[in-house]
């Protein structure tokens, strides 16, 4: 995910990397699960503002795709999705907040990358959303692919990777362009709608929401190229394998439930299912919850209170919302997507 304040962010990253290297990621004496249980709630780091992913509704209640990931973990541990305290974090403080123990899970559209995983003392859970940087242009320009954007003014929001990806894409192709950086997303969007930019670039999920906001969405086309890989995954502290398992399998329970056709509405009927894997997943058979240090009904509680992956996606980002995203790569592997849960056995 691409966010402003690039310089500050860069500074933060180097500081965090430096301190992490010096202190060699202090191992906490107590396991995260014990701390969380004693506290009675999970501390979940989210974006202050990210339409569809983390936002506050009219009553100030946090909702969104990222929020639902934390709610799923809360349901797994407490059998209640609302034992979560949300800590709004900006890009520049998010990883430090995980390291210092300010949050237990960071679920805020973080791209999983090598350096973050290897050098910051962090671990990443399963990818919950496959994103990638794309480009969008007005359809009247008749641009069919990003390669035709020679001498175009491309508007973007600041962030270390946005411009870098653009540069990495155009430089080898010898295409000249002009990048125009906007600090504020409202300005950036309006500049594009008013024709000041020949194209805009950001993550494809954001492009779709910008297009949905336009007065006439048919006037804009998202170009076919995806110029970067942005696998978004929740982030936790390194060195707590149990906590990592809980996060991993909470996400896999969401995906696995969709694979098996288990939904929030019909999960009770599935308790009587003959399928042994469903029986193990929902805690009818076996001691799967105990192995994680949880109740055996953990996955049942997740689906009962949050739904399966497809329901979470549709509720927050899907075609019926104003963001109107299609599943794309975020479809089950059986339907040509990338989502794949290891077996429950």
The residues that touch other proteins, with contacts defined as CB under 8 A, are 5, 8, 12, 15-16, 19, 23, 26, 28-30, 48-52, 55-62, 85-90, 92-93, 96-97, 99-102, 186, 189-190, 209-210, 213-215, 321-323
For 307, left (φ over 0), alpha (ψ -120 to 50), or beta? left
Nearer to other proteins by C-beta: 44 or 227?
A: 44
- Residue count (the chain): 345
Q: How many CB atoms lie within 10 A of CB 22?
A: 7
Whichever of 69 and 146 has its CB closer to other proteins, that residue is 69
Cβ-Cβ contacts under 8 Å for 50 (sequence gap 6 or more): 1, 64, 66, 108, 109
Nearer to other proteins, 85 or 225 (CB): 85
Pairing of strands 122-124, 235-237: antiparallel
Q: Work out how close the CB of 138 gets to other proteins at its nearest, in angstroms, rounded to a whole number.
A: 16
Q: Residue 19 contacts by C-beta under 8 Å, 6 or more apart in sequence?
A: none
Write down the residue that tokens 């990397």 correspond to.
Answer: 17
Residue with smaller CB distance to other proteins, 27 or 272:
27
DSSP-H helix ranges across 228-308: 241-259, 267-270, 276-281, 288-292, 298-306
The DSSP result for 237-260, as a single string, is ESS-HHHHHHHHHHHHHHHHHHHT
Instruction: Specify the residue, 23 or 164, whose C-beta has the smaller distance to other proteins.
Output: 23
309 neighbors 257 (Cβ within 8 angstroms):
yes
Q: 75: Cβ–Cβ under 8 A, 6 or more apart, which residues?
A: 81, 298, 301, 302, 304, 305, 306
- Between 64 and 289, name the residue whose CB sits nearer to other proteins: 64
Q: How far is the CB of 50 from other proteins (least distance, A)?
A: 8
Coil, helix or strand at residue 192: helix
Question: How many angstroms separate the CA atoms of 251 and 286, rounded?
Answer: 20
Specify the residue, 28 or 263, whose C-beta has the smaller distance to other proteins: 28
Which residue, 88 or 336, has its beta carbon nearer to other proteins?
Answer: 88
CB of 186 to other proteins, least distance (A): 5
């Amino acid at each position: 995910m691409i966010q402003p304040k690039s310089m500050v962010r860069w500074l933060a990253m180097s500081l965090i990397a430096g301190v992490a290297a010096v202190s060699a990621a202090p191992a906490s004496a107590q396991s995260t699960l014990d701390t969380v249980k004693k506290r009675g709630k999970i501390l979940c780091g989210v974006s202050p503002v990210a339409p569809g992913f983390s936002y506050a509704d009219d009553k100030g209640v946090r909702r969104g795709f990222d929020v639902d990931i934390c709610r799923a973990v809360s349901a797994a541990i407490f059998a209640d999705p609302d034992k979560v305290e949300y800590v709004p974090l900006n890009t520049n403080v998010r990883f430090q907040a995980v390291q210092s123990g300010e949050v237990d899970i960071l679920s805020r559209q973080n791209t999983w990358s090598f350096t973050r995983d290897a050098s910051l003392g962090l671990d990443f859970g399963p990818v919950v959303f496959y994103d990638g940087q794309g480009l969008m242009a007005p359809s009247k320009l008749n641009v069919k692919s990003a390669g035709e954007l020679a001498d175009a003014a491309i508007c973007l929001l600041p962030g270390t990777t946005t411009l870098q990806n653009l540069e990495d894409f155009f430089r080898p192709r010898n295409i000249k362009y002009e990048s125009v950086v906007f600090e504020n997303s409202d300005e950036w969007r309006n500049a594009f709608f008013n024709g000041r930019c020949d194209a805009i670039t950001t993550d494809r999920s954001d492009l779709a929401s910008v297009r949905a906001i336009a007065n006439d969405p048919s006037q804009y086309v998202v170009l076919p190229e995806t110029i970067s890989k942005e696998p978004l995954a929740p982030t936790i502290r390194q060195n707590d394998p149990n906590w990592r398992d809980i996060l991993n399998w909470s996400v896999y329970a969401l995906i696995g439930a969709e694979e098996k056709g288990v939904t929030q509405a019909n999960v009770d009927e599935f308790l009587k299912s003959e399928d042994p894997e469903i029986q193990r997943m929902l805690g009818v058979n076996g001691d799967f919850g105990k192995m994680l240090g949880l109740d055996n009904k953990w996955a049942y509680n997740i689906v009962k209170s949050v739904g399966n992956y497809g329901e979470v996606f549709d509720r927050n980002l899907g075609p019926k919302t104003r963001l109107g995203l299609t599943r794309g790569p975020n479809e089950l592997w059986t339907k040509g997507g990338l989502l794949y849960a290891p077996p429950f056995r």
